[in-house]
Amino acid sequence: MAGVVWTYQINDEILANHPMPAKPEPSIAVIGCGHWGKNLVRNMHGLGAVASVHDRDPQTEAAIASEYGVPGRQWPEILDDDAIRGVVIAAPAAAHHALVHEALLADKHVFVEKPLALRIEQAEELRALADGRRRVLMVGHLLQYHPAFLKLKEICSSGELGRLRYVYSNRLNLGKFRTEENTLWSFAPHDISMILSLLGDDLETVLATGHAYLHQAIADVTTTHLSFASGQAAHIYVSWLHPFKEHRLVVIGDQGMAVFDDGEDWPSKIRKYPHRIDWRDGLPQPQKAQAVSVPVEADEPLQLECRHFLDCIETGATPRTDASEGWRVLRVLDAAQRSMETGRTVNMREQSPAGHDVFIHQTSCVEQSSEIGSGTKIWHFSHVMKNSKIGRNCVIGQNVAIGPAAVIGDGCKIQNNVSVYQGVTLEKGVFCGPSMVFTNIVNPRAEISRKDEFKPILVRRGATIGANATILCGTTIGRYAFIGAGAVVTKDVPDHALVLGNPARHVGHMCACGVRLPDGEWEEADCPACGRSFRQSGGVPEAR
């Protein structure tokens, strides 16, 4: 119960009638204990939440574990421990998608440092997976929890500055140099997050430039320009090749201006400038006024952010920087990166729900908030509902219902008369035979609403589900598994398993090419069709 202050009145009668509740046990594992992760460990430990830590460097892990008196544990061990309710991930950005994906599949709540992922479709997948499994997924956009930024946002919302015209930010320093990402991806996410929070996300165009000096392929300095449909604008200047540190956000309104300068002491972090522009003889004349410091209560933003994550776990509240907010920031980062690479302005309006070369039959309905990958075909009388995600080169047959908020990976084929409900996630290359059924409630009644009891279904890469088969909710179908026609799946199906009957029974193994492997126990075997070699471990074939 994060955020609870444990105070008790010492009174025998009260204690006899109302026993004190037990203080909650630590239930958070921190993954990554390096440059930034150690700060997360410190704050989570201060909140009494750290149960264990993990780092890919055994020496780093051991040092942090010893400093805070908690065990260092391996990642699979953490995932398997039901006492670990949530994980905090501070790994390199390239590892974020895989770690978050695995944690959500293990039913952990997740707080991941920015960015949520490196690709938009990965962020969409994680967002849908978290929604389907009813887990908290929060992105570490730290400045959204900074008391000074919250005060600035309050000033802007109050109308003190009038209508906001433009915003600009400088995030500059000497180092820390990185070789796995450029300054855009390292520094700018915080500023993009703040600017979208102030101006909204109705973006029209993104234009970015970058220059590399220390490494041929990694930009040390980037400038990003954002134009909004309302006529507002913003720009972001970031560099790790700068002679001094500057973290400054400037907001310009038609009735005043304000500055958030994180390099100042707390009494001066927020300043209002009640400047005015008067018109004389048709010419604008500035009327300067004295700057006014705005009081802000000092508090560590990272501790507030950590406490927010714990509170969201306890209450089920949506995080201020949830997966949707992380996706919006990632969308701008992606556009800025493409702009730098091509030298062209990216028109955000052209990024419509349907990608290039999408075929949607005139009898089908695709709601605007859904997204369809290029090369996908949607045939007669199908309905794609809001917030659904369909990957590239999929084939959706006749009379198929998808969503809301279902996720279908690249290259899937869904035959006629199939409904893919909310909470269902199909990974890449899944085949759904005609009239097969996904369920979302264990014990449905027409007279009783049980929408809050939906259970997710995950179908892993390359699996095949035969005609008229039924998949009960709450189950996972393993990679390249094969569900026979008419089978009723009531429990998880291992990778490469062949299951038949009602209830479905495990009767053999299948190669990824769709051909049955030899029956019985064996250590090694080759597929008779494609020649792929397998080793059997614990009854589950693994390709060699």
**pLDDT digits over 290-322, tens only?**
899 999 999 999 999 999 999 999 999 999 999
Average pLDDT over residues 75-98: 95
Average pLDDT over residues 276-303: 88
Give the model's pLDDT for residue 175: 83
| Ordered DSSP codes for 340-407 | HHHSS-EEGGG--SB-TT-EE-TT-EE-TT-EE-TT-EE-TT-EE-TT-EE-TT-EE-TT-EE-SS-E
Confidence band for 284, pLDDT divided at 50, 70 and 90:
confident
Average pLDDT over residues 409-426: 95
Domains and CATH numbers, the chain: 12-139+306-310 (3.40.50.720), 144-299+312-317+329-342 (3.30.360.10), 359-543 (2.160.10.10)
Average pLDDT over residues 237-258: 94
Give the model's pLDDT for residue 464: 98
Separation CA 469–CA 484 (nearest Å): 7
Higher pLDDT, 452 or 474: 474
Give the model's pLDDT for residue 350: 60
pTM: 0.64
> Which of 229, 118, 221, 121 lies closest to 171 in space, CA to CA?
221
Give the model's pLDDT for residue 111: 98
Cα distances (angstroms) measured from residue 428 to each of 1, 359, 390, 444, 461: 38, 19, 10, 30, 5
Give the model's pLDDT for residue 318: 93
Q: Which of 11-20, 102-111, 289-298, 430-439 has the lowest mean pLDDT?
A: 11-20
Give the model's pLDDT for residue 356: 52
Report the chain's mean pLDDT, rounded to a whole number. Answer: 89
Separation CA 367–CA 449 (nearest Å): 25
- Find the Cα–Cα–Cα–Cα dihedral 191, 197, 200, 206, rounded to 10°: 10
Separation CA 128–CA 524 (nearest Å): 38
Confidence band for 60, pLDDT divided at 50, 70 and 90:
very high
Angle, CA 531 vertex, CA 525 and CA 535 arms, to 5°: 30
Give the model's pLDDT for residue 10: 38
Angle, CA 83 vertex, CA 80 and CA 87 arms, to 5°: 75
User: pLDDT by residue (tens digit) across 113-136?
Assistant: 999 999 888 888 898 899 888 999
User: pLDDT by residue (tens digit) across 166-195?
Assistant: 999 999 999 888 877 899 999 999 999 999
Give the model's pLDDT for residue 125: 87
User: pLDDT by residue (tens digit) across 66-86?
Assistant: 999 999 999 999 999 999 999
> Which of 398, 415, 517, 512 lies closest to 469 in space, CA to CA?
415
Q: Which of 273-287, 413-427, 522-536 has the highest mean pLDDT?
A: 413-427
DSSP, collapsed to helix, strand or coil, labels residue 219 as coil
Average pLDDT over residues 244-250: 95
**Portion of the chain with pLDDT greater than 90, in percent:** 68
Average pLDDT over residues 442-465: 90
- Look-up: residue for tokens 């095949």? 464
Identify the H or E element spanning 79. Answer: helix 75-80
Separation CA 536–CA 488 (nearest Å): 26
Average pLDDT over residues 387-407: 93
CA 360 to chain centre: 29
Give the model's pLDDT for residue 180: 75
Average pLDDT over residues 47-64: 96
Give the model's pLDDT for residue 24: 54
Q: Which long-range contacts (CB under 8 A, 24 or more apart) does 282-288 make?
A: none
Give the model's pLDDT for residue 473: 94
Residue 44 has pLDDT above 90, yes or no: yes
Confidence band for 1, pLDDT divided at 50, 70 and 90:
very low
Give the model's pLDDT for residue 454: 87
Average pLDDT over residues 11-18: 43
